[in-house]
Structure 1
């Protein structure tokens, strides 16, 4: 049984640079161009919205935010959803990939809210099928006050609890990140995928570093394959010589 993979990462701005990679307006080194046509957007954009970057901005504009968005404030969270390579290949060969995609969308919308999931693109042109989902961290409720604020004797006016706020930190607390790993593994259990090791010492890496490592691994594999072919030709030549000597 393989592992279910859910990786979350905060972004800066409307993440236009990553949109170029996800939407293939640029050609990644690790992507097979002959399979790029198999990639697809799993979410229908609102009228007038044409791409992921615009979808992020549209959600921010229509969320009913009352506070101005800061220049350094996180506007979106990338979510990478996949599984162990062998298991994703099995799911694809069994004809269950569409079902897997639908269950991933259901998990995202149930967990974060349908309106907050503005894009979800399936990539089939890389080594392992996976989904790049985009979450705009809109939450509701009163902002949690810092300890310094609580110690001040000034009385705060009680604010409505249904006000929409942009707050990535509230979505990505340590406790919630652990909870997502648990609930996502449960949602993927029907595909033979289980949770990664709880409390593992494996270090968290960024999506950019993940792809950088993947490209390096792919290049190393190509080198290894080339060396194996050369060895194969050498062995075949030695075998032909040996056969000739036996015949002689």
Structure 2
């Protein structure tokens, strides 16, 4: 193993459940046609499918069990706890009942754990059927499984699959947020009461995971909340932007795959619904014909036309046929209602998936805006000292009348007391109003007054807040009126 830093990967996504398409993807429960599409459109390699495995109860390594879907496993666990799935009956499921985790690390390290010195050909269509799975990846997976068991309880792990047939080996783990009191609570187990508590939980999770990953050559990534902002090159930001957008595009592509499969399910459901409607119409027509024949027989018996005993036997047989036909009609109507409900549910899934895809695209656009804004901040920060220095070196060449135009302006005061104004603004931006006032007064400024009402608005973005802090710092750093020097 070389000395290159290799980072662990841990991603968590809240979910209202696991769809059939997702479960099929996790378990690779695909027919030839679906495999062909996966290899064509994604980063899957069917020749390495035999390397995939799961970690089952007790940390046992075994081939992926496809006899029960992940959704069925979730329902079984809920039932065992006496919990009814809260999304049942909802037009749009919106209760978070599980968390989907992806565990992994740098590609180089994961390939080393999974394949050792064997060379995997990542070219599309390449034959890697000769590749053998290494024991290290199994032991690593067992360690991560133990981490999940210790963290959330083994009984709450619905699935734990290890995929070695994609570009980068990784784990898909589905966990139910069930408390020790057998209550379903995503907030209590994963999210916390506030966004700050959620952040602390996620930081702790990464720290705890790093303990298990350390012996496998994977380190915890550096968190900006712990290190503070650092100066990075434009090239680094471009790389971050590319990575973030690539991740979002992969998520969008995944939603498109699910959308495609759900649309196929909808098509089949509509065919089934149409067939059932036709069958019911035909049965209703047959029932009408039998009922008419029954009326004729009853009338013949009543009038004594023909052999009454034979007519009675024929009528009894006719009543039995009508009864059986009624049972069949009711059965088909029940199946039709199930098909209608299924179609409605699938359409709701389509609408929800489209909504989530839209949110992902908005998140992608936001990521681009954020990275560009950070670059602008760096550019502004780099050029501002030069602008102020140039202004400071040239202002003495102006006549008094022209200089008066710059009196009390932020530009002039920054050129004279830039470091102090910036320090005061920094304290304000961080929310330290008292310290900012003390600093301003200690530096010869008025301080802004003790009754100053100050704070960031809930909907105020960083740029607007920074501008307000700079303007307020400029005001606070001005000398009190009594000490103000007279103009020339």
- Give the TM-score taking structure 2 as reference length: 0.36
Post-superposition CA distance 1:140-182 (Å, at most 9, x none): 4xxxxxxxxxxxxxxxxxxxxx3x2212122132221111111
Cα pair distance change 1:165/1:39, threshold 3 Å = same
Is the alpha carbon distance of 1:105 and 1:207 closer, same or farther for their aligned partners in structure 2, counting shifts above 3 Å? farther
Tell me how far apart the structure 1 counterparts of residues 142 and 106 of structure 2 sit (CA, whole Å): 18
Match of 2:221 in 1: 196
| Distance in 1 between residues matched to 2:104 and 2:151, nearest whole Å | 17
Q: Which residue is 1:69 aligned to?
A: 86
- 1:208 CA displacement: 7.1
Q: Distance in 1 between matches of 2:44 and 2:246?
A: 19
Q: Is the 8 A contact 2:7 2:105 kept in 1?
A: yes
Unaligned 5+ runs, structure 2: 88-92, 118-133, 192-197, 230-239, 255-488
Contact 1:9 1:206 in 2 (8 A): no
The residue matched to 1:127 in structure 2 has which SS? coil
Q: Equivalent residue of 1:90, what SS?
A: helix
C-alpha distance after superposition, 1:195-237 (max 9, x if no partner): 11112787988987445589xxxxxxxxxxxxxxxxxxxxxxx
State the shift of 1:64 in Å: 3.0
Indicate the larger mover: 100-109 or 191-200. Answer: 191-200
Deviation at 1:15, TM superposition (A): 3.1
In structure 2, C-alpha distance between the alignment counterparts of 1:60 and 1:208, rounded to whole Å: 31
What residue number does 2:159 align with?
Answer: 119
Higher relative contact order (CA 8 A, sep 6+): 1
- CA deviations 1:35-82 (Å, max 9, x no partner) are 11211222259xxx62212111111111233x7624421122111011
Q: Give the Cα–Cα distance (whole angstroms) in 2 for the partners of residues 36 and 183 of structure 1.
A: 31
Rg (Cα) greater in structure:
2
- The size of the alignment, in residue pairs, is 190
Runs of 4+ off more than 4 Å = 200-209, 211-214
Higher-strand-fraction structure: 1
Q: Any stretches of 5+ residues in structure 1 without a counterpart?
A: 141-161, 215-248
* Aligned counterpart in structure 1 of residue 169 of structure 2, from 116, 121, 129: 129
Contact map agreement 1:14 1:57 (CA 8 A) in 2? no
Partner of 1:85: 107
**How far off its partner does 1:18 sit?**
1.5
SS in 1 for 2:7: strand
Structure 2 partner of 1:241: none
2: CA distance between counterparts of 1:211 and 1:184?
A: 24
Structure 1 residues 111 and 209: alpha-carbon distance in aligned structure 2, compared to 1, 3 A threshold: farther
Report how far residue 106 of structure 1 moved.
0.4
Partner Cα separation in structure 2 for residue 207 and residue 166 of structure 1: 30
Match of 2:18 among 10, 14, 27: 14
Please say which of residues 92-101 and 29-38 is displaced more in the overlay.
92-101
**Cα distance in 2 for residues equivalent to 1:208 and 1:115:** 32
Deviation for aligned residue 1:33: 1.0
CA displacement at 1:191 relative to structure 2: 0.8
Task: Judging by fraction of residues, say which structure has more helix.
Answer: 2
Superposed displacement of residue 30, structure 1: 1.2
Does the 8 A contact of 2:157 with 2:173 survive in 1? yes
What is aligned with 1:50?
Answer: 68
Distance of 2:154 and 2:177 partners within structure 1 = 12
Q: CA RMSD in A?
A: 3.1
How far the C-alpha of 1:11 sits from its partner, in A, is 1.3
- The residue number in structure 2 matching 1:242 is none
